[in-house]
Amino acid sequence: MNNTMKVAVLLIFGCLLWESSGFPEQEKNPAFWKEWAQRTLKNALTLQDLNKNVAKNLILFLGDGMGVPTVTATRILKGQLNGQSGEETQLEMDKFPYVALSKTYNTNAQVPDSAGTATAFMCGVKANEGTVGVSAASVRSQCNTTRGNEVTSILKWAKDAGKSVGIVTTTRVNHATPSAAYAHCVDRDWYSDGDMPPEAVQSGCKDIARQLFENIPDINVIMGGGRKSMYPKNTPDMEYPAEKKHNGTRIDGRNLVEEWTDRVKDKKGEYVWNKKKLLSLNPNNVDYLLGLFEPADMSYELERNKETDPSLTEMVDIAIKILKKNEQGFFLLVEGGRIDHGHHEGKAKQALYEAVEMDRAITRAGLLTSLYDTMTVVTADHSHVFSFGGYTQRGNSIFGLAPMVSDVDQKPFTAIVYGNGPGFKVANGVRENISTVDYMHSNYQAQSAVPLRSETHGGEDVAIFSKGPMAHLLHGVQEQHYIPHVMAYAACIGQNKDHCRTKSGSAPSLKHISPMLAVLLTVTWILC
């Protein structure tokens, strides 16, 4: 047995050999670390053979609020959920060969919001906070600054090139991130016309839900929450008819779901609003899918009703199976949108479980596509003031306590803390003693330094993980708006296509690659 085989055996069985010291026995041996490093080096040397194929398919995974500390904590949680220490675990995104950093500021904000950042990574143009699909010449909430300042997204570039396109999110489908794919709106909160000031409606500005169905009327797959923005005001929700807060909000009387259904009824179109109907579909018989599973945002993964609501992974699975039927390929935007919401509420457990689920969806997407004709990018729009520390021991629960008490107030503290947010609590003039509360609860709000009703975003750079054709172009430290330009370049869509022509004037072909070789190489990629 050679050294590489020995290390592989150690990796497979070593996690079972834990000592009281809290780490695997083989880690005491320097040879373990040296062999691991050499194996990593050998893999790195293969990256000199750049994948310059044309990307038939493009997948953009967006973890809303998934800053680098969130990625690290998610990695540990994933491992601990599998009975491991966690630190040595690999997320699916960790396996991507190229990693860059994205500068997330908005044109008018040092610490950005999800609308201005979505405009950057979807439309390739930096924008003001609170605005989607419009340039920085637009002013938030000022309707008359919309016209003439619209910018289009990579989803539209892909659709114009003949590809199928899709949007999957755990927020409402007219939330900030997905709306940048199709809308041009100076206020991210104009979900329906019932959420708009009357003067904006009178001036001709359109709400985001309406734009979803009108701007690019043939989006192939749309899945997420957001039902109430699609129905006339006071229309009871089909799932929660007795709860008025879930009633329709539209004041123009339009039923956008019904309009969409009528439009696609003869084009293999399907509307679903629960998991059972979604999973009963045969993707081979569906060309257009609208899935709206909640009145507003979808439930947190930890609270999801597994009988009625699909997971992000299940939605991604169906989406890709529908989209990949197009011989011209597809573009798919997938948002793990509630990572952000968990952090805003100071509920780290909710946020991290959302991120673990997104990583499962990334794994599923990899199994359904080929590394050789699919470019996959995983990134975040911005970070949060979330951190974990406190000299915790190896294998310490990511939600657990630091091993010491504060040397100032002599009270325990959790490893996870926030710079600001709703977790700031004072009892009798001093910091709350968390030994009296259930800090492992799903909705526990981690302590914060500054009291705020909602925790804020962070301003630091976020990671960009990439694999597939032209993934090497996402390198170094880049402006966020660079991302869709690289993806468009890889797929030969959008404005920069000169490199896509061979001497004969036709696009390069991948037909010379053996299907069996492609399968073997893809499987090797997944396993390694």
The answer to whether 441 is a known ligand-binding residue is: no
- Tell me the β-bridge partners of 165: 331
Rounded to whole angstroms, the Cα distance separating 203 from 144 reads 7
Beta-sheet pairing, 330-336 with 57-63: parallel
Residue found by looking up tokens 């008490």 in the block: 405
The answer to whether 481 is a known ligand-binding residue is: no
Strands (E), 53-145: 57-63, 98-103
The answer to whether 344 is a known ligand-binding residue is: yes
The answer to whether 382 is a known ligand-binding residue is: yes
The answer to whether 335 is a known ligand-binding residue is: yes
Instruction: For 422-442, give one letter per residue: b (16+ CB within 10 A) or e.
Output: bbbeeeeeeeeebeeeebeee
Residue found by looking up tokens 């041009």 in the block: 184
Instruction: Yes or no: say if 394 and 85 are a contact pair by the CB < 8 Å rule.
Output: yes
Closest CA to 342 of 443, 450, 458: 443
Instruction: For 397-420, give one letter per residue: b (16+ CB within 10 A) or e.
Output: ebbbbbeeeeeeeeebbbbbbbeb
Residue type, 296: A
Instruction: Yes or no: say if 398 and 73 are a contact pair by the CB < 8 Å rule.
Output: yes
| DSSP string covering 461-496 | -EEEEEESTTGGGS-SEEETTHHHHHHHHHHT-SS-
Residue 141 designated active-site: no
> Which three-class secondary structure string do you get for 407-437?
CCCCCCCECEEEEEECCCCEECCEECCHHHC
Instruction: Give the single-character DSSP code of 216.
Output: S
Question: Quick one: 20 exposed, middle or buried, by C-beta within 10 A (0-12, 13-18, 19+)?
Answer: exposed
Rounded to whole angstroms, the Cα distance separating 228 from 225 reads 9
Question: Integer distance in angstroms from the first to the last C-alpha of the chain?
Answer: 19
3-class secondary-structure state, position 90: coil
Which residues make Cβ contacts (< 8 Å) with residue 50, sequence separation at least 6? 472
The answer to whether 341 is a known ligand-binding residue is: no
What tokens were used for 327? 């011989």
Q: Which among 114, 138, 370, 448 is annotated as catalytic? A: 114
Work out the angle between the directed axes of helices 348-368 and 312-323 (0-180°, nearest 10): 30
Rounded to whole angstroms, the Cα distance separating 519 from 21 reads 42
The answer to whether 409 is a known ligand-binding residue is: no
Torsion from C-alpha of 294, 295, 296, 301, nearest 10 degrees: -20
Q: Give phi and psi for 225, each to the nearest 5.
A: -105, -170
Q: Which residues are annotated as a binding site for Mg(2+)?
A: 64, 175, 177, 335, 344
Known binding residues: 64, 175, 177, 335, 340, 344, 381-382, 457
Query: Which residues have a catalytic role annotated?
Result: 114
